[in-house]
Structure 1
Amino acid sequence: MKTFSTTARLREALASERRNGRRIAFVPTMGNLHDGHLQLVRRARDLGDIVVVSIFVNPLQFGANEDLDKYPRTLAADKEKLFAEGVQYLFHPGVAEMYPNGMGVQSIVSVPGVSERHCGASRPGHFDGVSTVVTKLFQIVQPDVAVFGKKDFQQLAVIKKMVADLCMPIEIEGVNTARDEDGLAMSSRNGFLSRAERELAPFLHKTLQECRDAIACGFDSYDELERHARLALLDAGFEPDYFSICDAQTLDKVTLATEEIVILAAARLGATRLIDNVTLNFNPSADWGMLAAQ
């Protein structure tokens, strides 16, 4: 595995691969890799001849009171994991490489609509930071396909819309959420949980599942379901940010035209912010109200 910290050196290496007709698959990460990230790498290996992984903790997507300084950085361990997975190229730039003129004068890529609700509402500017850095990484790597996890469902929706709107010739592949045995979605931030919080954390996924099951059984008072779920999380010791039943394509309210529902949730447990989601497909051969859970 070759590691690069500069754009010019990586571009030179990948240009050679491209001239030789190799298909390039890309996995952008912020490091502190766990098995969820490695599932993305394995999928990228299936989709491309060459796998490029980036590790960059992007300050542009962190708010003033968020955990940028304490975000875990485990480069040595990450390299070992990527090498074991057969990754050919690791891109590990510094902040000065990605933002040579400073972030204050950086051009910003903003994706309207899907970025404004849910996490976008509670973390102003977050998705502008995500879409901007991903655009820059796409320009640097120029992949044929890029792989993202579905755990951050809204982020995936933002990236898909950005690529479509800006006519980027890149396939976007979403990979199902990797979970621990008790159902907790794998996350780099799970390491911040205390032992007691870690035992409680799977309740978030359980609440999402119960809401999905209620809809699958025909309960369609979505506002009531959302209120009940928020109260259940609050009673269990969480601080709910949002719990939203949405159209999976628009991330807006469910309508009679909705073909797939996504239930999105974010909540704090102690100092740690957790996100998760579940989806539900409407059976296209049945009437409205007849649902088939994924």
Structure 2
Amino acid sequence: MSMQVHEKRLDILVDVASIKKNKKTIGFVPTMGALHRGHLALVEKALKENDYVIVSIFVNPTQFNNDADLVNYPRTLDSDIELLSGLSKNIIVFAPTPKEIYGDKMLSTKYNFNGLEHEMEGKFRAGHFDGVGTVLKHFFTIVNPDKAYFGEKDFQQLQIVKKLVEIEKMTVQIIGCPIYREENGLALSSRNKRLNTKQLEASPFIYSVLQQVKKDFGTKSAFTLNNWVLGQFKNHDELKLEYFEIAKVSDLKSIKRKQKGTKYRAFIAVFAGEIRLIDNIALN
């Protein structure tokens, strides 16, 4: 049997009802397509933990605050389907149109994520997390998964999705999965496909900076580390720093001073030409 690929909400609802009727579990991996090894790692984990896995492939218009980024976002549906069909026959792909998800009104719900939405990405991408919350509410309602899988590369998004489930009183369990990296340390991202050779060669520098911050975190202040990172990117030929922040894992607020017994992560966003790359690392 070839892998099921659905464009229509109704077709997915029929499959979901049949799976649930047979008392089988559903894992859900939401993606915007242009699949890479990192996505496949999420799908493989979902396959181990559930009877069926639904993978959505949908470039969500409401979470882009930059029209050019939306237009240029890589769309590779045929090769995405081919990649997934090599993994298991228990995968169902849902690749809807925006109209199928939103109807005639492409609007985001305004969410209050307890301030999580105003930190880091929220400062630079107005309305982004409202778009993420809105589309995921739609998908969680349609797919009705037992578990949903998200990569920690978008760590802020992961925390926001957990908050969304709490706000909307949904039963889905949110599973965070480790960042998948190239051998040179570059975090895998669909946007990497847009990097030219020079940018690709330069980009692993982002992770090497994060690793150094982690190494020095025990002995140096957040202020010192912030200044050091700014200096690293100041005159870089290929990479321009948008932000670097050391933040508490619990509320994602930037810190001036470290406190005992608190977990921290370092977050970074960098432009390679017009292409925006994000990454983060656990510090303790």
Q: Quick one: distance in 2 between partners of 1:166 and 1:63?
A: 24
Comparing 139-148 and 251-260, the one that deviates more: 251-260
- Kindly indicate whether residue 280 of structure 2 is the aligned counterpart of residue 277 of structure 1: yes
Q: Quick one: distance in 2 between partners of 1:222 and 1:182?
A: 26
The Cα shift of 1:65 comes to: 4.1
Partner AA of 2:267 in structure 1: L
Partner of 1:174 in structure 2? 176
**Map 1:136-215 → 2, pairs under 5 A:** 136-215=138-217
Q: Quick one: distance in 2 between partners of 1:66 and 1:161?
A: 29
**Map 1:19-98 → 2, pairs under 5 A:** 19-86=21-88, 87-98=90-101
Partner AA of 1:193 in structure 2: L
Q: Quick one: distance in 2 between partners of 1:258 and 1:124?
A: 32
TM-score (norm 2): 0.94
What SS is found at the alignment partner of 1:129? helix
Which of 89, 100, 105 is 2:103 aligned to? 100
Partner of 2:225 in structure 1? 225
Partner AA of 2:231 in structure 1: L
* CA separation of 1:268 and 1:108: change in aligned 2, threshold 3 A: same
Q: Structure 1: which 5+ runs fail to align?
A: 282-294
Partner of 1:284 in structure 2? none
Deviations 1:19-38 (A, max 9, x none): 11101100000000000000
Q: Quick one: distance in 2 between partners of 1:47 and 1:269?
A: 37
RMSD, aligned α-carbons: 1.4
The Cα shift of 1:170 comes to: 0.9
Contact 1:110 1:131 survives alignment (8 Å): no
Q: Quick one: distance in 2 between partners of 1:233 and 1:276?
A: 15
Q: Quick one: distance in 2 between partners of 1:280 and 1:251?
A: 13
Q: Quick one: distance in 1 between partners of 2:202 and 2:10?
A: 46
Q: Structure 2: which 5+ runs fail to align?
A: none
Q: Quick one: distance in 2 between partners of 1:206 and 1:140?
A: 41
TM-score (norm 1): 0.91
Comparing 9-18 and 254-263, the one that deviates more: 254-263
Partner of 1:248 in structure 2? 249
Contact 2:109 2:131 survives alignment (8 Å): no
Q: Quick one: distance in 2 between partners of 1:269 and 1:45?
A: 35
Q: Quick one: distance in 1 between partners of 2:91 and 2:206?
A: 37
Contact 2:109 2:130 survives alignment (8 Å): no
What SS is found at the alignment partner of 1:267? strand
Partner AA of 2:171 in structure 1: P
* CA separation of 1:49 and 1:210: change in aligned 2, threshold 3 A: same
What SS is found at the alignment partner of 2:71? coil
